[in-house]
Copies of this chain bind each other. A is one copy, B any other.
Amino acid sequence: MVGEIISVGTELLLGQIVNTNSAYISQKLAELGIDVYFQSCVGDNSGRLGYVLRQALSRSDLVILTGGLGPTDDDLTVSTVAEVLGRKLICSATVLSDIEQYFSRIGRRPSENNKKQAMVIEDCRVIRNAIGTAPGQIVEDGGKIVVLLPGVPDEMKRMMETGVVPYLKEVGGASQSTIRSKVLRFVGIGESLLASQIEDLLAGQSNPTIAPLAQDGLVDLRITAKAPDVATAEQMISEVAREIRTRFGALVYGEDGEQLAQVVGRLLVERGFSLATAESCTGGLIGKLITDVPGSSRYFQGGVVAYSNESKSKLLGVPSQILSQYGAVSRQTAAAMAIGVKRLFGSSVAVSVTGLAGPDGGTASKPVGLVFIAVISDRSLSVGRFIFNGNREQVRRKTAITALNLLRMALMDGSSAVG
């Protein structure tokens, strides 16, 4: 089976948003062994959309469209697909009821425009929308499959996972060979250095392939194998993954969807530890990342964002003499903040950060990007000094990631930093 993806929306052609939906859907299709040879973006224009759709139907078995399912007049995917396929539109009572419930939950009424979203292509399979208003639709037509999905990423992803992928497996669309991927997640090493350490693996690659993807402070390596069956594909991947893990050790913090904060949470739960945070330049970002993890209330007691010097003294008990002698951005202040917040919350462990996120505030001796991070437990206290490159957002993000990583390393290393 050959698939094709059409993303609908003039905002895409104007470059106002980046097309992440296409990449996501392509990955899902690749995992099912469905090849994708073409992806297109077209605007909110019925004529051009109809043209691109007809072309896609002429060369692909499966066409997935995202976008243009909203309630406004610009949204014309449903009517255009219906026109191209020569189908009627009917009102789905289920969807209409879903829409009314969605609005009543937030104490409002749906507009007429929202009700239009209950019009679906006759004989389609409806994919209900649990977090929005537009339904997804799967239409079988003359041996082809046409799928309509919302452009809103979260809504589209949920429908792919709960509706489209099961459907494709059901109709045997998944190919004879299978494609499997595993992502290894790295922290504390940059992309080029990482790549240089696996130059031999990258140069020789064909199947499996190894693709690096870097974000601030984090690097992922995606290993993808194509094989006649799942077991073989997974074995091919494991061999490569094992070799890579051997080279990098604890620089690999997790796999696939694992978040660094999730790994930290698991280590805390395993040890029965509680955690508190003292943040300055990160402003609450570390607490936010920790609480991204559902169930983090099991171990996270909370934290203090001590943005002003005064609040560092008042709330965390950082001695004013330390602040005046060494400054807010110093090893000593980071240590005092960690001591203070651990005592304040009575937590098993705590992490603190103080630094210069920029763009202003830097000096020759204390440049923008300078950050101190402390980790404290019942048994020890250690402070690290860092200089992070980048703009304000990058410095703050790298600081938060590094703080979580130092906490992770300390929790893993039972014999030294943290008991």
Please tell me which stretch of A141-149, A233-241, A301-309 contacts chain B, meaning at least 4 of its Cβ atoms lie within 8 angstroms of it.
A301-309
A170 within 8 A of B: no
Known A-B contacts A72-B195, A297-B307, A305-B277; the reply to A131 vs B292 at CB < 8 A is no
Query: How many subunits of this chain does the assembly comprise?
Result: 2
**Residues of A contacting B: mostly:** mixed
* Residues of chain B lying within 8 A (CB to CB) of residue A211: 10-11, 14, 16-17, 74
* Residues of chain B lying within 8 A (CB to CB) of residue A22: 12, 15, 18-19, 41
A154 within 8 A of B: yes
Contact A131 B13 (CB under 8 A): no
Contacting residues of chain A (72-119) with chain B, CB-CB under 8 angstroms: 72-74, 102, 105-108, 110-114
Contact among B20, B213, B305 with A304 in the assembled complex (CB-CB below 8 Å): B305
* Residues of chain B lying within 8 A (CB to CB) of residue A17: 23, 211, 213
* Residues of chain B lying within 8 A (CB to CB) of residue A163: none
Known A-B contacts A277-B305, A284-B288; the reply to A131 vs B390 at CB < 8 A is yes
A13 to B294, CA, bound (A): 32
Contact B302 A305 (CB under 8 A): yes
Distance (whole angstroms) from the CB of A41 to the closest CB of chain B: 4
Contact B39 A294 (CB under 8 A): no
Contact B27 A15 (CB under 8 A): yes
Please tell me which stretch of A30-38, A264-272, A409-417 contacts chain B, meaning at least 4 of its Cβ atoms lie within 8 angstroms of it.
A30-38
* Residues of chain B lying within 8 A (CB to CB) of residue A311: 301-302, 345
A43 within 8 A of B: yes
A282 to B285, CA, bound (A): 10
A222 within 8 A of B: yes
Chain B residue with Cβ nearest A47: B37
A122 within 8 A of B: no
Contact among B213, B281, B302, B310 with A308 in the assembled complex (CB-CB below 8 Å): B302
Contact A23 B27 (CB under 8 A): no
Please tell me which stretch of A244-252, A318-326, A371-379, A391-399 contacts chain B, meaning at least 4 of its Cβ atoms lie within 8 angstroms of it.
A391-399
A212 within 8 A of B: yes
* Residues of chain B lying within 8 A (CB to CB) of residue A302: 304-308, 311, 315
Contact B11 A359 (CB under 8 A): no
A230 within 8 A of B: no
A193 within 8 A of B: yes
* Residues of chain B lying within 8 A (CB to CB) of residue A396: 288, 291
A18 to B213, CA, bound (A): 10
Contact among B20, B27, B285 with A288 in the assembled complex (CB-CB below 8 Å): B285
Contact A305 B287 (CB under 8 A): yes
A224 within 8 A of B: yes
Task: State the A residues within 8 Å of B (CB).
Answer: 10-20, 22-30, 36-43, 45, 48, 52, 70-74, 102, 105-108, 110-114, 131, 133, 152, 154, 190-193, 195-196, 199, 202-203, 209, 211-214, 222, 224, 277, 279, 281-288, 290-292, 294-297, 300-308, 310-311, 314-315, 344-345, 357-360, 387-394, 396
